[in-house]
Amino acid sequence: MIYDLHAHSNASDGILSPEDLVARAKVRSVDVLALTDHDTTAGIRAASLAAKAAGLTFVAGIEFSTQWHKRGVHILGLNIDPGHDQLVEVVQEQHRRRLSRAHLIAERLDRLGMAGSLEGARRIAGSELIGRPHFARYLVEAGHVTSVAAAFKKYLGSGKVGDVAPDWLSMAEVIQVIRRAGGVATLAHPRKYNLTRSKICTLADHFKEEGGQGIEVISGTQTPEDTLDMVRIAERFGLCASAGSDFHMPDQPWQELGACGSLPSGCTPVWQLWQSH
């Protein structure tokens, strides 16, 4: 069985529509797919219908941007009820925060002589749910940089002018709302926060304490040693293991849909938490 429990559509910063994402999952022999767009559930209905037609098991998900000790940390809500009142409210609140952050990013880019980025990013996003990748694509389009990678390196990545300090909801609040909406809160890509191993452990400890239940022991392609190390952390803090590609678009071999591999034996998979009832 191929599980991929972390993937994006163009409802957030992915390239494929929810339907095309499901079609790609089918071609790549994925058996169980979770759609986990950033701070939105907008693609879930379309993806769920497409998955049903394709005979693929679908898991409704979301990837929340949250704050933990002034750091941005991503928390997946897996197997959520996307219509849950409080979840819907929190999603709306995140949209407001995303939009005001987008205004700040645009002001800063404007001051550097790159005008029109808010309108450009909004058009590329196709909604008000604007992320840094939409700014990056706009900067490429407007000829300010030659690639999305260069846009992050120069203007949007960590520590750069467009890396506006996050004002997301706290990790604890987000874990709570995921759980109320029937979901499993799962710590996304723990190795991508530039934390030392001991800081990752502190994060995992707090996450568990606040009601978190899962951790991505596999994110994209990574070495077996890194996977085993994450499995040890999962075991130490009593967290279930998850695996996801973090797919955003075709032609990125390190995050191809369904290519993250399976969990090492002995792990307690996160899906046991919803398959058991």
Distance CA 32, CA 181 (A): 20
Taking the complex as a whole, how short is the minimal distance between the CB of residue 101 and ligand AMP, in angstroms? 8
Our finding on whether 161 is near ligand AMP (CB under 6 A) is no
Residues 224-263 that bind ligand AMP (CB under 6 A): 248
- The residue from 46, 157, 173, 222 that contacts ligand AMP (CB under 6 A) is 157
Range list of H helices, 62-217: 85-111, 117-125, 132-141, 148-151, 171-180, 197-209
Distance CA 118, CA 50 (A): 32
- The residue from 6, 24, 26, 38 that contacts ligand AMP (CB under 6 A) is 38
Secondary structure (3-state) at 77: strand
Secondary structure (3-state) at 66: strand
- The residue from 27, 149, 161, 228 that contacts ligand AMP (CB under 6 A) is 149
Our finding on whether 13 is near Mn ion (CB under 5 A) is yes
Distance CA 13, CA 105 (A): 16
Residues 80-139 that bind ligand AMP (CB under 6 A): 131-133
Instruction: Name the segment binding Mn ion (CB under 5 A); options: 5-13, 111-119, 137-145, 214-222.
Output: 5-13
Nearest by Cα to 6 from 46, 55, 52, 64: 64
DSSP string computed for 78-117: ES--TT-HHHHHHHHHHHHHHHHHHHHHHHHHHHTT-TTH
Distance CA 78, CA 184 (A): 5
Taking the complex as a whole, how short is the minimal distance between the CB of residue 73 and ligand AMP, in angstroms? 11
Q: Judge whether 169 and 90 are in contact, CB under 8 Å.
A: yes
Our finding on whether 74 is near Mn ion (CB under 5 A) is yes
What does 68 interact with, of ligand AMP, Mn ion, none (CB < 5 to 8 A by kind)? none
String of contacts with ligand AMP for each residue 44-83, x by CB under 6 A: ---------------------x------------------
What does 132 interact with, of ligand AMP, Mn ion, none (CB < 5 to 8 A by kind)? ligand AMP
| Residue 55 identity (one-letter amino acid) | G
Q: Which is nearer to ligand AMP, 52 or 96 (CB)?
A: 96
Taking the complex as a whole, how short is the minimal distance between the CB of residue 266 and ligand AMP, in angstroms? 30
What does 264 interact with, of ligand AMP, Mn ion, none (CB < 5 to 8 A by kind)? none
Q: Judge whether 140 and 146 are in contact, CB under 8 Å.
A: yes
Positions touching ligand AMP (CB under 6 A) are 13, 38, 65, 131-133, 148-149, 152, 157, 248
Chain residues that interact with Mn ion, rule: CB under 5 A: 13, 63, 74, 188, 246
